[in-house]
Each structure stands twice: as structure tokens, then as C-alpha cells.
Amino acid sequence: MIVAHPEDFSKFRQFPLTLTLLLLNFLIYFMVFDSPDSHQQRHKLLKAENLILTARLYLQSIPHFEASYQNQIPEWVLQVHRGNLEQMEILGSYALRDNYFLKYGERASFVGDQIEIENWKGMIQDFQKYVQKQPVFYFGLFHESSRWGWITYQFSHSGFLHLMSNMIFLVFSGFAVETLVGGWGLLAIYLLGGLAGGLMFLLFNQNGALPMVGASASISALIAFFCLAETKWRIRYFYFLSPVQGHFGSIYLTPLLMLPLYVLVDFTNLLAAPTGLNMGVAYSAHVGGSLFGLGTAVFYRLISEKQKQKHNRPRLRKLLFGKERN
């Protein structure tokens, strides 16, 4: 076991912006996402039998899609066995996230059990109304969201665990980045990293019907920035191998160590998960945020190098000429 272990928690109050962001995230979650209205019953369209029916209709509609859109459909969709109900269920849940299909499905005429299909069309309309009632729809980011969605999604979380996991990382990365670049710098990286993550998410989910929420893209940007911006720092970690003396204690490691752990893992997950089967995690947004963070860190290093050179120049002149010019 190895965990980051700050030396003095009382120093944390010196980072007002990180604490403000933290409070804002908690406040929005408890005011909007944890309200009694948000705990609605699961929609009947998400039941196994209806998902299977959705999958059947989805397979029927694919040949009628526009050719340009057909090319975007993942290969595995066409390889699903119609007789395998488990596979059809997965395909059904994928189809419900396909905005193109949802719009097409309402007006299409399908071959098959017409009574069932009419019922399904009713359910689809009902499902879309149900989704639009969810807070995620107002605060999340998707193709048809308002301009505010680009900002609000960065402060919204779908569940308490989602919120907590993001906030733990925000605490550690936020304090470190605020130390380095100050409050305004932190805010800029948080918001712009979120925008970069959102952009990447929309690029990878061009017909995604479900909105994205979460501060993870912004936090990925903060972590990536911290990993590369100041590599000479050391982070204190606590390790525990066994209760024997000498088998536990503290160790100081470079922030670069976090680069494979937090940044590369997102790239790996993005590449390893088949399209449309990413288990509800927007890895593309994480990658977008991380790329922005890395880019900003490189820029930061260049600027700080220049500042150092500027700072050293007068000294050089002093050495050469014995006094500084005005």
C-alpha cells in the first residue's frame, strides 16, 4: 500500500481557490443532483426485454442509415448474434445512447411485431422526456446542450462516489497547482482543461445521446500539469508492507511517477475499450484534459526558463561590467 501523505494539513487553508472549487462541486451536487426529484425510478425501456427489442430494431435500421453514419458504427455491432440475448441486451443499451437512431426510430417503419413496435415507439418518446427531466440533461455536456453546459458539466456529478473520487484528486492536485501558479492559474487550467476534455468527448461521441458530467477532465488537466511542470519537487508518500519495523514509513517521489499512473492509464483505457463499451467512463474527456494539462506544463516550463534567464542576465552583466545598467 502506498498513498500520498502531506506533512501538514493545516497548510491547506492557504489555498483558497482549491477550497472554493471543492465547495462549489459539493454544493451543486447536494442542491441539484442529490435532491429527491433526481432519484426517479428506472425507466421501463431499460428492462432486459425492451433492450433486446431495441437491439433488434437497431439492427434493422442500420441499412437505412446514411452511408456516412454507417461508417461510424463500431464493427462489433454488426457481429452481434441475434439469438444471443446477453449480446442483444448490450447492443440495446448502446442503441439507446445513439442519438441518430433515437431520432430515426420515432418515424421509421420497422418489420416485425407491429403491436410491440408501436409500444416501443411510445416508450422511446417517454424515455426521451424522462432523460430531459434528469438534472444531468440541464447541467451535462452533449451536442445539443446550451453554451453554459461547457462550464456547468465541470461542476456536476452523477453520484456521491463519483463526486468523492473526483474531489480527493482535486484536493491533492489543486493544492499543488495552486502553489505553483496561484489561484487564477489554477482556475484557468481547471476551466480550460474541462473545455478541452469536453471537446475531445464530443469528437469521440459524435452521436452520443447521453450528456457527460464530472470534474474528471479538469482534474486530469491539473494532474497532468503538475506531473510535468515541476519535476524537481518530491511528494511524500506513506508506504506499508508489514507491521515489522522498517517495513513502513515515508518515501519522497518525483511527480513524474504520477504521469504513467494517472495520465497513461486513461490513454490505455481509451484504446482498450471497444467503441461504445466504455462502461460509463468518458476516457476521451480524461485524455483531452490530460493533453491540455501536458501542453500547459510545457508552456509553463518554457516561460519559467525564460524568466530564469532574464533573472540571470543582470548578474552576468554585473560579472562582466562590474555594475548593472538601468
Partner 1 sequence: MVFQDVSVDSYSRIHRISSSSGGAKPLTIAPLNDRLLAVFLDFLIFSPLVGLWVSGIYRQIHLSSLLEVEEGIVGGFWILYILAIFSSIISIMTLFLYFWQATPGQKFLQLRVVSYPSVDFERRLTIDRCILRSFLWCLSWILLGLPFLEVISHPLRRAFHERASDTLVVSLKRLKEQATLELESTFIRNFLRTSFVLLAMMICGLGFKAYDELSEEVESSQTAGPGDNPECAISVSENDEKLNPIDLLMTLAYTKQLDEDCLNTQLDSLFLKAKRESVSFAYLAKSMIIQDEKEKKKYLDRACSESKKQEKTISKSKDDAEICNIATFLASKPGSRKMEIRASNPLLLSRVLLLESYMEQKDYIPALATVKELDHFVSLKHFLETKYVAAVWSLRKADEDANTRKPASKDGNMEGIFKEFEERYLKQ
Candidates 66, 106, 113, 324; binder of partner 1 (CB under 8 A) is 113
Rule CB under 8 A: is residue 247 a binding residue for partner 1?
yes
> In whole angstroms, what is the distance from residue 230 CA to residue 263 CA?
16
Site string for partner 1, 273-292 (x = CB under 8 A): xx--x---------------
Rule CB under 8 A: is residue 302 a binding residue for partner 1?
no
Alpha-carbon distance values, 297 to 120, 125, 193 (Å): 51, 47, 12
Residue 326 CA from chain centroid, whole number: 51
Rule CB under 8 A: is residue 233 a binding residue for partner 1?
yes
Least distance in angstroms from the C-beta of 75 to partner 1: 8
> In whole angstroms, what is the distance from residue 133 CA to residue 127 CA?
10
Site string for partner 1, 250-269 (x = CB under 8 A): -xxxx--x--xx--xx-xx-
Site string for partner 1, 64-103 (x = CB under 8 A): ------------x--xxxxxxx-x--x-------------
Output the CA torsion 215→25→1→224 (10° steps).
Answer: 40
Candidates 114, 125, 307, 309; binder of partner 1 (CB under 8 A) is 114
How many residues touch partner 1 under the rule CB under 8 A: the total is 51
Alpha-carbon distance values, 320 to 305, 306, 307, 313, 316 (Å): 22, 21, 20, 11, 6
Check the CA dihedral 74-78-79-83 and report its sign. Answer: positive
Nearer to partner 1 by Cβ, of 140 and 276: the residue is: 276
Nearer to partner 1 by Cβ, of 191 and 235: the residue is: 235
Least distance in angstroms from the C-beta of 239 to partner 1: 6
Main-chain dihedrals φ then ψ at residue 11, nearest 5 degrees = -70, -15
Rule CB under 8 A: is residue 168 a binding residue for partner 1?
no
Rule CB under 8 A: is residue 235 a binding residue for partner 1?
yes
Q: Is 325 helix (H, G, I), strand (E, B) or coil?
A: coil
Residue 222 CA from chain centroid, whole number: 12
Nearer to partner 1 by Cβ, of 32 and 230: the residue is: 230
Nearer to partner 1 by Cβ, of 38 and 114: the residue is: 114
| Binding segment toward partner 1, per CB under 8 A, in 106-114, 143-151, 182-190, 195-203 | 106-114
The amino acid that residue 273 corresponds to is A
Q: Is 41 helix (H, G, I), strand (E, B) or coil?
A: coil
The amino acid that residue 199 corresponds to is L
Site string for partner 1, 12-51 (x = CB under 8 A): ----------------------------------------
Q: Is 312 exposed, middle or buried (0-12, 13-18, 19+ CB in 10 A)?
A: exposed
> In whole angstroms, what is the distance from residue 82 CA to residue 309 CA?
67
Q: Check: CB of residue 286 under 8 Å from CB of residue 220.
A: yes
Rule CB under 8 A: is residue 298 a binding residue for partner 1?
no
Nearer to partner 1 by Cβ, of 88 and 141: the residue is: 88
**Which residues contact partner 1 by CB under 8 A?**
2, 6-8, 11, 52, 56, 76, 79-85, 87, 90, 111-115, 175-176, 179, 232-236, 239, 241, 244, 246-247, 251-254, 257, 260-261, 264-265, 267-268, 271-274, 277
